[in-house]
A and B are shown apart, each in its own frame.
Chain A
Amino acid sequence: MPPDISVRQLVKHYVVPERAGGLRASFRSVLRRKHRLVRAVDGISFEVERGEVVGFLGPNGAGKTTALKVLSGLLHPTDGQVDVLGYTPWDRRAEYLSRITLIMGQRQQLFWDLPAADSFLVNKAVFGIDDAVYKRTVDLLTELLDLGDLLTKPVRQLSLGERMKVELAAGLLHTPRVLFLDEPTIGLDVTMQQRIREFVTAYNAETGATVLLTSHYMADVKALARRVIVIDQGKLLYDGALAGLVQRYAPHKTITVHLERSVDLPDLNGQAEVLSVEGLQVTVRAGKDDAPEVTGRLLTQLPIADLSVEDPPLEEVIDQVFRGDGP
């Protein structure tokens, strides 16, 4: 079976006008406009198999959203080939648009003053969803997203989190086979983020849809994606298992010990660095290779009640990748 998404050497450059602040620069720009080339996506290639959930990571301005916009057909690329479900996205064929969805955290497609149910009916007609399928899908989405009576309230009266749930449902009424989710949990509280994550997992399991998502919240990525694609400045830095990313880029482990009583810390031979001492809890960081030895020394030389060895938080690993400190 061919992959659902296939991207070959995708390039997207923008030319943006540029000028310094101030009145003088303003006058100068009237006579002579300066432009700057932005290489938003600079030759990335990857494939996503049917039913896979892939996290698309990168700092702000890395090119994630641009890539998703090309994949969903909003943007024409500068160069490269993209094939999604056998279609070239930017041809924007009706058959293609009926099989995908792009959900952006900040964008809204709902009528602001009307209950979401009205916007749903518009989508039902536009996508040509027949009555029985529509009812089944709305029931399923209401259950998975716990929509309750949200569909009958004017959208302007919904909270941000409620609106996001309804937006998500509106974008899924036509049961797309490929979901592009751009920051689906942005601005939501922890409970709501959790809820959206559970939903995406359930939706993926239920429908076998392929999901490509970007998020600033590592918790999203950890919960949803076994595979991540990391891009920075338009270039692909890593494509593989989430676990492998940590393995490859996390150069150290964090060792936390709970002491039985207060004592002086032993000499760690420069193999570990004390990160914090809070009461009887001590946290040290040791190089990946030194971690076993440091752990042994701590165990033999200290009155230990409890000890744990962990990989650093994913945020730190990602930061490491972006700073280019990795192997």
Chain B
Amino acid sequence: MILRRTTLAGALALTRAEIADMFQYRVVLFLYSLWEVVHPIVYLAVWGAIAGEGDVGGLRLSDFAAYYLTFMLVSHVTAAIEIYTFGPMIQQGELSPHLLRPMNPVWVAAARNISYKSVSMLLLIPVWIGLVIILRPTFSITAGSALLFVVALVVAALLSFLVGTTFALLAFWTTRSFSFWEIWIGLTFLLGGQIAPVELLPGFVQNLATALPMRYTLGFPIEVLLNRLDAGELALGFVLQFAWLIAAALIVRTVWRAGIRQYSAVGA
């Protein structure tokens, strides 16, 4: 698909307007951001209690602090919100005005995603800095790991957006797309590096986590930044992350095409 010049300009203008619009919802954003701060702190508290003065699988309290503080930012950047923003648009027929524009409405979902994250990031950053000062994590970061982290983070955000969009598109067929989304959320909780860093998972579960896409939307960029992977694991991780990204892009395209025919069949 060739990206039209006006599509890019349109997406930019749309993002600008979405950001301006998002500022109207400061309180709601603040509450969401609060949740994003609270839940990694809970995981950290649990792992901190288990580790005590010692370590768990080689991770000390300050390592857990580094992991979950990074998690806080990464999970924010890669959060998929399409089930809340794009799904309802399809269900309530609000897609029609967007279908009349010479730009794929998936760009509307993308613009909303970016605007939500950039505005709420402004609220999250000061809290995050405060927590770094209090918790004193050990960030073992190098220039190389930081560079690779940026790549892994961008791909993770894209992959997560495409996965979120796929689940949102299920709204073309069912009013219960949330149920399917819950399954994804559950799997990410277990296998994505949320309840525990993937390296602490038992052997076969770890293999599962390595193969499935959830880790590549969340845990993988954190592991890259904190230098938790050897060269082989790093290479395999990037190969799989890109493979899942391509797969997700193809899936979104297929589901969108089928969905739009379905939308059209039931009466837009």
A residues bordering B, Cβ < 8 Å? 14-16, 40, 66, 69, 72-76, 90, 92, 94-95, 97-98, 100-102, 104, 107-109, 111, 113-114, 118-119, 121-128
B88 CB-CB contact with A under 8 Å: no
Nearest CB in chain B: distance from A91 CB, A: 12
Nearest CB in chain B: distance from A208 CB, A: 21
Whether B21 lies near A125 (C-beta < 8 A) is no
B12 CB-CB contact with A under 8 Å: yes
Interface centre among B12, B21, B98, B261, by most A CB within 10 Å?
B21
B6 CB-CB contact with A under 8 Å: yes
> With a CB–CB cut-off of 8 A, which chain A residues contact B24?
113
Report Cα–Cα, A107/B9, bound state, in Å: 25
Report Cα–Cα, A263/B261, bound state, in Å: 69
B252-267 with Cβ < 8 A to chain A: 261, 264-267
Whether B9 lies near A125 (C-beta < 8 A) is yes
A108 (CB) vs chain B CBs: closest residue: B97
Known: A108-B97, A125-B6, A128-B9. A113 touches B267 (CB 8 A): no
Nearest CB in chain A: distance from B129 CB, A: 30
A123 (CB) vs chain B CBs: closest residue: B101
B: interface residue count bin = 20 to 34
Known: A97-B102, A113-B24. A127 touches B6 (CB 8 A): yes
Nearest CB in chain B: distance from A113 CB, A: 4
A90 (CB) vs chain B CBs: closest residue: B264
Chain A to chain B contacts (Cβ below 8 Å), 24 pairs: A16-B266, A69-B96, A69-B268, A74-B99, A74-B264, A75-B267, A76-B264, A90-B264, A94-B103, A95-B102, A98-B102, A104-B96, A107-B96, A109-B98, A109-B100, A111-B17, A113-B21, A114-B17, A122-B13, A125-B12, A126-B9, A126-B10, A127-B6, A127-B102
Whether B4 lies near A101 (C-beta < 8 A) is no
A13 (CB) vs chain B CBs: closest residue: B265
Known: A69-B268, A74-B264, A125-B6. A118 touches B20 (CB 8 A): yes
